[in-house]
Structure 1
Amino acid sequence: MNQITHANGGDHNQNNLAVGCHLLGFVGLVVPFGHILGPLALWLIKREGNPFVDDQGREAVNFQISFSLWSIIAVTLSLVLVWTVIIPVLAVIALVILAIIWVVTMILAAVRASRGEAYRYPFTLRLLS
């Protein structure tokens, strides 16, 4: 993992924009698909001439898309396997764990970006390169 991805520990403006890319995922709590659209919009607008924002914005968008896919799979499995009492309980537990991972990793990514450190989300499909 790159500790610092831009010169001299970081340009505060780039760091703040990268933090925004990560934290805009929370828009999804109030706007449908906002968890993807928020980071995507900021990344597309600010990536030119900002290599750190380009890297971290792409990472944030990839994570949000991956998170959506993992959530769809978990919900689908819970609906398909609803024929017992144990499976729905396990599905709900899995969804709660996914939600906790979603929140914690976005906060961790934002903290790292604020320091000028590149962050790589776990279990993320790198769809945008």
Structure 2
Amino acid sequence: MEIVNQNIALREDRKLIVIAHLSQYLDFITGFGGLIVPLVLWLTTKDSVIGMDEHGKAIVNFQLSLILYIIIGIPAILLFGLGILLLIFTGMLSLLIPIVNAVKASNGESPSYFGTIKFIA
């Protein structure tokens, strides 16, 4: 389905949105890229793909939240010992939530990232 809006043809591309969600796993494969690749996909296609703006903001907010949790969790290990729980929670979130939202994106639903701080509104 295409919608013409201000001389820009919008297209529905659920596969690209699913790829954006699953590209967060690049952190586990390469050590980086889980924020960079979805950010590039979002910035380059947010005006041409229906739903990419909403999903891209959710992905970037989620990745920034995970980075913040890790930054807080590492010193919290030394101070309170509770940082280990925060890091385990962060690891579980980073493994499970992208899969759930990739399935939601393939069904045309809105993303819902648990524990996300909205840096980008």
State the TM-score bracket (shorter-chain normalisation).
0.7 to 0.9
Relative to 1, partners in 2 of residues 1:94 and 1:125: Cα closer, same or farther, differing over 3 Å?
closer
Unaligned runs of 5+ in 1: 1-6, 82-86
1:122 has 2:114 as partner: yes
Question: Aligned residue for 2:48?
Answer: 49
The alignment partner of 1:51 has SS state of coil
Larger RCO: 1 or 2 (CA < 8 Å, sep 6+): 1
Q: CA deviation at 1:94?
A: 3.0
Query: 1 or 2, which has the higher helix percentage?
Result: 1
Deviations 1:79-122 (A, max 9, x none): 333xxxxx2xx433331222112211111010100111011212
**Higher normalized strand content (fraction of residues):** 2
Compute the displacement of 1:32 (Å): 4.1
TM norm structure 1: 0.76
Query: What's the Cα RMSD here?
Result: 2.4
Q: Which runs of 4+ in 1 moved over 3 A?
A: 30-33
Confirm whether residue 14 of structure 1 aligns to residue 24 of structure 2: no
Opposite residue 25 of structure 1, the aligned amino acid is Q
TM-score by length of structure 2 reads 0.81
Identity across the alignment (%): 29
Q: How many residue pairs get matched?
A: 114
C-alpha distance in 2, partners of 1:33/1:127?
20
